[in-house]
Chain A
Amino acid sequence: MGRIYKLEDAIREFVKDGDHIAFGGFTTNRKPYAAVNEILRQGQKDFIVEAGPGGGDLDMLIGAGRVKAYINCYTANSGFTNVCRRFRKAIEKEEILFEDYSQDAAVLMFHAASLGVPYISVRVMLGSDIVEKWGISEEERKKIDKLPDKKFIIQDNPFHPGEKLVLLPAPRLDTAIIHAQMASPDGTCRILGDEFHDSDIAIAAKHCIVTCEELVSNEEIRKDPNLNTLPGFVVDAVVHTPHGAHPSQCYDYYDYDKQYLRDYDAASKTDEGFQAFLDEWVLGVDDHEDYLNKLGAVRLLKTKVVPGLGFSKDMTKEVK
């Protein structure tokens, strides 16, 4: 009865070495940082990360050496770090396997996975080096069970001969981790604002962990089912994790922590800087509560969104 877990227990039970894993959110919005920090503390590794529009969350996993293969379409803390630096270094120094798709392709691959279909055909990527150049060769792919042997297949449209289509494999995800504004003990969850690709990965993955800002009763969350995103039975673990998307945004709750993102930008420029940042903010804290205490109440309150604006702003400075 009930799917409430402590963050440590949820990550230990549902995140394993070598998992094909996907994370919710979009670059600097509703990224499940608290869960990523816990993975970094626990030590799971060798992930095949199906990234979607990634940000600093995935950059940290790459920088800490936990990613075996990175399936990329875009990786940036936009406006703070325009190309994530650990991602960039790992590719330039050939430290990880990586593959590129267009974002259109990546989100349709997630959607195909949620539909339970084996592949999806699209018209994007034609005429570009995304089809001409493979990050991970067919030979290399055959050594990794969880990756399809081919990046894509180009084929004639069977219903409209002469038209070229790109067939994209649907990923078979082990684990999805998303951050939601609200959930209840039975696993029902509610994402406010744009869900991005989050319900797709939740449905597609064998296991889904939802960290949430607020844990409410099963009765309360059913009062307005129209607002709910996932039924409890696709969710394995619900973790009460206030500010669990910090330093990214969480719609209707808080804005990004600009200083933290700037500090990460500076730190991630060098191996030493990155390691020191990780030691200070992730490995050197006991758990998420310890992390919030280290940030401090005032700093967190300053990220709170102003009702009506949807972002944080010092209203005391407004002229009347």
Chain B
Amino acid sequence: MADYTNYTKLEMQAVTIAKAVQNGQIAIVGTGLPLIGASLAKRVFAPDCTLIVESGLMDGAPVEVPTSVGDCRFMAHCSVQWPNYKYVGFQANDWLHDNDRMIAFIGGAQIDPYGNVNSTCIGEYHGSKARFTGSGGANGISTFVNTIIMMQHESRRFIETIDYVTSPGWVDGPDGRAKKGLPANRGPLMVVTDRGVMKFDETTKRMYLAGYYEFSSIEDIVANTGFEIDTSRAVKIDPPSPEIIKIIREEIDPGQAFIKVPKE
């Protein structure tokens, strides 16, 4: 009999993001953890949500975990295959129509207290120490859509000033987005890491600790955050039930493409 109580950090993150998706929402997912989380949301927590990807594939329900947002595993199991530009137009129009039904998952290498994210480079832009893929769809998403940011929680990644702003968050405070000409009624909602969940203060738009896991602690999170973070509102988040872990391992990622099951 398989053990479903030995959940991993990644599974905790997947369940946390799954619970953040609401019925009726359109979730823009990348591959990896966001797709696992959103697939879990669709199966358990919010069966009336819809998954889309930035390559233009709408309402996807892959039967095997895709490795890319343009993967045939997504393309062969969706409602419509739009060219890229139509997806881009839809994303902007949904904001123009003042709809509030989209949510997106983005990731990055560095994040600052206002949820600005770097997925371009470490060090200088020219001759960078480490170069990454670049924006992909993340910049457009962070312009028009509320986001949930996935990060590895380390003090070198959570820093006061990031090396490159690929995807703007709240910029530098409550009027930051408006000053830059960005849609002011969109922005990052939460940051989900391997140590906890951060949200943004409604008044200051600065990141605060909202929750920690059974295997982490407030002290652990403060020690691994490179800027000062308010912890006064932090609560312990319940661990996932064995039933949920069973669904991840047996139905969503049985091939262990992204979620590795711990060895007995």
Contacts and interface: CB of A to CB of B under 8 A. Distances in A.
Contact of A108 (B54, B88, B120, B135): B88
A72 B135 CA distance: 9
Contacts of B70: 25-29, 53, 194, 196
Interface majority SS on A: helix, strand, loop or mixed?
Answer: loop
Nearest to B32: A79
A79 B132 contact: no
B82 A194 contact: yes
Contacts of B165: 127-129, 132
B128 interface: yes
Pick from A25, A29, A127, A132 the residue with the most CB of B within 10 Å: A127
B206 interface: no
Contact of A305 (B72, B132, B182): B72
Given A28-B70, A200-B85, A103 B182 contact: no
Interface in B54-84: 54-57, 63-64, 66-73, 75-77, 81-84
Interface string A81-101: 011100110011110000011
A129 B63 CA distance: 38
A199 interface: yes
Interface in A64-123: 72-76, 78-80, 82-84, 87-88, 91-94, 100-105, 107-108, 110-111, 122-123
Contacts, number: 198
B64 A163 contact: no
Nearest to A55: B68
A72 to B, nearest CB: 5
B75 A53 contact: no
B156 interface: no
A311 interface: yes
A309 B76 contact: yes
- Bin the interface of chain B by size: 35 or more
B234 interface: no
Interface residues of A, number: 65
A102 B139 contact: yes
24 contacts: A26-B68, A27-B68, A52-B84, A79-B31, A79-B67, A83-B131, A102-B138, A103-B140, A104-B140, A105-B140, A107-B84, A108-B88, A122-B92, A123-B143, A123-B144, A126-B182, A127-B176, A129-B164, A194-B83, A195-B83, A197-B83, A200-B85, A311-B76, A313-B64
Interface of B: 31, 54-57, 63-64, 66-73, 75-77, 81-85, 88, 91-92, 120-121, 125-140, 143-144, 164-168, 171, 176-177, 180-183, 257
The 8 nearest A-B residue pairs measured at CB: A310-B76, A79-B67, A104-B140, A164-B181, A127-B180, A26-B70, A102-B139, A78-B68
